[in-house]
Amino acid sequence: MKKDAWEKLCSGCGLCCHEKVITENLLLIDTSSACEFYDSESRLCTVYDRRFEKCPRCLKMTLFRAMFADYLPPTCGYVRWARAHHIRLCREKECVLENGILSFVDDSSH
C-alpha cells in the first residue's frame, strides 16, 4: 500500500494520543488525559511532521502495529483495516473513559 493510502486509513479520532491502561483483557483510554501535542478542538497533532522527534512516546503506525498493537481501539481505522483483512488479534473487551464515564466500545460489527 502506498504511503498516502496508508495515512488515509486514520480516521482522526485521536484516541491513540491519550493515556491508556492495558491489562490482559482490557484497554482503557482516558480521554481527559491527552498528549501535550494533541489539540482537542481540531483533534490533530500540533507537531505532526516532527512528532517522533518531539514526543518519544509517539509510535509510528506500521503494518505490524495495525495487526497486533494492544493500545489501539477497535474503532481505529488501522485496526478496522487489519480486521477486514483477517490479520488482527484482539482482546476481549475495550472501553473509553470520557468525562469520568466509562463505556465499553460496541464492536459487534466485527
Nearer Cβ to ligand SF4 (35/96) = 35
Decide: is 40 part of the binding site for ligand SF4 (CB under 6 A): no
Decide: is 16 part of the binding site for ligand SF4 (CB under 6 A): yes
Q: How far is the CB of 10 from ligand SF4 (least distance, A)?
A: 3
Cβ-Cβ contacts under 8 Å for 23 (sequence gap 6 or more) = none
SS3 content of the chain, % helix, strand, coil (to 5): 25, 25, 50
Distance of CA 97 to the CA centre of its chain: 14
* Chain residues that interact with ligand SF4, rule: CB under 6 A: 10-17, 35, 37-38, 45, 47, 51, 55, 58, 61, 72-73, 76-78
